[in-house]
């Protein structure tokens, strides 16, 4: 026997006051803030790259252009994830956000990184083959360095927004504050993971570009500017691999984190009528939507009693974790050690 509940039933059970109290104030703000900042930064970088001819600034221009495209793709994925679907997608289009994040990683980041790297290598070859090309225009490089500093301020503001949203999401689901890197690894929010990675890479990339340009100003050697551009391009490709790994894992389907699993197990096993939790499988369809399948042994082998117990289990799970939307399937069964050796006692 199995029972499931629709979103309507879920809304009637969810303690709305608890959910409202934990709703992030800045939900979705990180992507919008990053897009607004990157548009302005990209315009400044492109203008500086054209004016100065700096390889590092060209790489940073490509980086910001890729970032702008990233946010647009993520916003489209967010919109698509809420569309109603036909029978071809019985659990909805929640994973459109995960797909968008994977596209960002594999196409935009990597292509941008490859282009930046190839342009930097081309300039390095040009400088190394022509001694006269080593001489740098210190004024133009100073302009490029100033753009790096201003851009770092904007990117820092974007990262601050991401940190605020990350903290609110941790508070919302009742987990203790954890490190930034650990949050990035465990979060089920594809768009927030992408923006955090993007803002972090942007700041590191600006540090590389600024260092290359700064050394070029000090030494008067144009080669250092090209080295800075090369480092930015390589950084983008490394970031592409990391983000593809994260978004690919979400796209394939990740289970709930250990703390959430513990709360679900406690809710199920403490439900009146449940003798034993035999098996449980969970998967995140989106950050807030979870598919839960459980197999339990009930106190009585009676159909009507089992139906009542199933309803109690659903209510208990949703009450214990009101900030998630659950699709729940429960199967009453009998514990058999040869088949259910992995039962959760």
Mean pLDDT (whole number) for 34-44: 79
Whether the Cβ atoms of residue 296 and residue 273 lie closer than 8 Å to each other: no
Looking at the structure, do residues 58 and 148 belong to the same domain, yes or no?
yes
Q: What percent of the chain has pLDDT over 90?
A: 16
Instruction: Give the C-alpha separation, 55 to 232, whole Å.
Output: 10
Among 193, 227, 252, give the residue marking a domain's end.
252
Element (H, E) at 277: strand 274-284
Residue 70 lies in a domain: yes
Asked whether residue 160 carries a pLDDT value surpassing 90, the answer given is no
- Tell me: do 283 and 238 sit in the same domain: no
pLDDT of residue 277: 92
Measure Cα distances from 18 to 22, 173, 322 in Å: 6, 11, 7
The whole-angstrom separation of Cα 284 and Cα 256 is 7
For residue 30, the model assigns a pLDDT of: 67
Are 286 and 154 part of one and the same domain?
no
**Residues 118, 61 share a domain:** yes
Between 81 and 263, where is the model more confident?
263
- pLDDT value at position 4? 43
Residue 319's pLDDT band (cuts 50, 70, 90): very high
Ranges 67-76, 205-214, 287-296: which has the least confidence:
67-76
Q: Tell which of 252, 271, 287 closes a domain.
A: 252
Residue 168 located in a structural domain:
yes
User: Is 339 a domain residue?
Assistant: no
| Listed residue (336, 319, 201, 178) closest to 257, CA to CA | 178
Say which CATH number the domain at 276 has: 3.30.70.1350
Tell me which of 187, 219, 252 is where a domain ends.
Answer: 252
The answer as to whether 344 is a domain residue is no
Model pTM score = 0.74
**How confident is residue 20, by pLDDT bands cut at 50, 70 and 90?**
very low
Shared domain check, 264 and 163: no
User: Does residue 9 belong to any structural domain of this protein?
Assistant: no
Q: Is the domain of 295 the same as that of 199? A: no
Q: Which helix (H) or strand (E) holds 328?
A: strand 325-332
Lowest pLDDT segment from 66-80, 137-151, 198-212: 66-80
The set of long-range contacts for 335-343, using a CB threshold of 8 Å and a minimum separation of 24, is 335/275, 335/276, 335/278, 335/297, 340/278, 340/279, 340/295, 342/279, 343/276, 343/277, 343/278, 343/279
Q: 23 in a domain, yes or no?
A: yes
- Domains: count for the chain: 2
pLDDT at 271 over 50: yes
Whether residues 169 and 270 share a domain: the answer is no
pLDDT of the residue at 338: 61
Average pLDDT in the 103-127 region?
80
Residue at 63 is within a domain: yes
Would you say residue 18 has pLDDT above 60?
no
What pLDDT shows up at residue 9? 40
Q: What is the Rg, in whole angstroms, of the alpha carbon atoms belonging to the chain?
A: 26
Q: Are 216 and 70 part of one and the same domain?
A: yes
- Residue 21 has a pLDDT of 42
Under the banding of pLDDT at 50, 70 and 90, the label for residue 77 is confident
Q: Is residue 241 part of a domain?
A: yes
Mean pLDDT of 88-94: 74
Of 211 and 14, the structure prediction assigns the larger pLDDT to 211
Q: Express each pLDDT in 136-154 by its tens digit.
A: 788 888 888 888 898 888 8
Average pLDDT over residues 90-107: 78
- Pick the more confident residue, 277 or 8: 277
Q: Could you report the per-residue pLDDT of 256-270, keeping only the tens digit for each?
A: 988 889 999 999 999
- The CATH number linked to 44 is 1.20.1510
Quick check: 233 and 113 in contact, CB under 8 A? yes
Q: Same structural domain for residues 242 and 186?
A: yes
User: What's the chain's length in residues?
Assistant: 345
How large is the average pLDDT for residues 31-52? 80
149 and 43 within one domain: yes
pLDDT at 314: 93
Residues 114, 134: one domain?
yes
Structural domain of 317:
258-332
Residues 224, 264, single domain; the answer is no
């Amino acid at each position: 026997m199995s029972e499931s509940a629709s979103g309507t039933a879920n809304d009637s059970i969810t303690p709305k006051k608890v959910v409202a109290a934990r709703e992030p104030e800045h939900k979705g703000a990180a992507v919008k803030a990053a897009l607004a900042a990157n548009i302005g930064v990209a315009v400044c970088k492109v203008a500086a790259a054209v004016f100065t001819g700096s390889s590092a600034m060209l790489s940073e221009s490509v980086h910001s252009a890729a970032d702008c495209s990233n946010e647009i793709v993520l916003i489209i994925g967010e919109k698509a994830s809420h569309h109603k679907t036909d029978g071809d997608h019985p659990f909805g289009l929640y994973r459109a956000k995960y797909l968008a994040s994977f596209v960002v990683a594999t196409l935009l980041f990597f292509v941008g990184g490859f282009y930046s790297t190839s342009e930097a290598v081309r300039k390095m070859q040009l400088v190394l083959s022509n001694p006269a090309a080593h001489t740098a225009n210190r004024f133009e490089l100073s302009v490029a360095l100033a753009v790096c500093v201003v851009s770092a301020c904007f990117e820092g503001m974007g990262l601050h927004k991401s940190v605020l949203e990350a903290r609110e999401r941790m508070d919302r689901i009742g987990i203790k504050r954890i490190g930034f890197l650990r949050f990035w690894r465990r979060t089920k929010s594809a768009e927030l993971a992408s923006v955090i990675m993007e803002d972090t890479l942007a700041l590191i990339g600006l540090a590389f570009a600024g260092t290359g340009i700064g050394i070029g100003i000090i030494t008067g050697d144009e080669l250092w500017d090209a080295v800075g551009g090369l480092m930015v391009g390589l950084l983008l490709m490394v970031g592409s691999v990391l983000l593809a790994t994260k978004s690919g894992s979400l796209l394939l389907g990740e289970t709930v984190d250990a703390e959430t699993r513990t709360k679900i197990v406690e809710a199920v096993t403490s439900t009146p009528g449940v003798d034993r939790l035999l098996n449980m499988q969970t998967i995140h369809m989106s950050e807030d939507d979870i598919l839960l399948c459980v197999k339990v042994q009930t106190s009585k082998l009676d159909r009507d009693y089992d139906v009542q117990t199933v309803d109690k289990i659903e209510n208990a799970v949703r009450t214990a974790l009101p900030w998630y939307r659950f699709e729940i399937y429960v199967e009453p069964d009998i514990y058999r050690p040869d088949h259910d050796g992995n039962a959760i006692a």
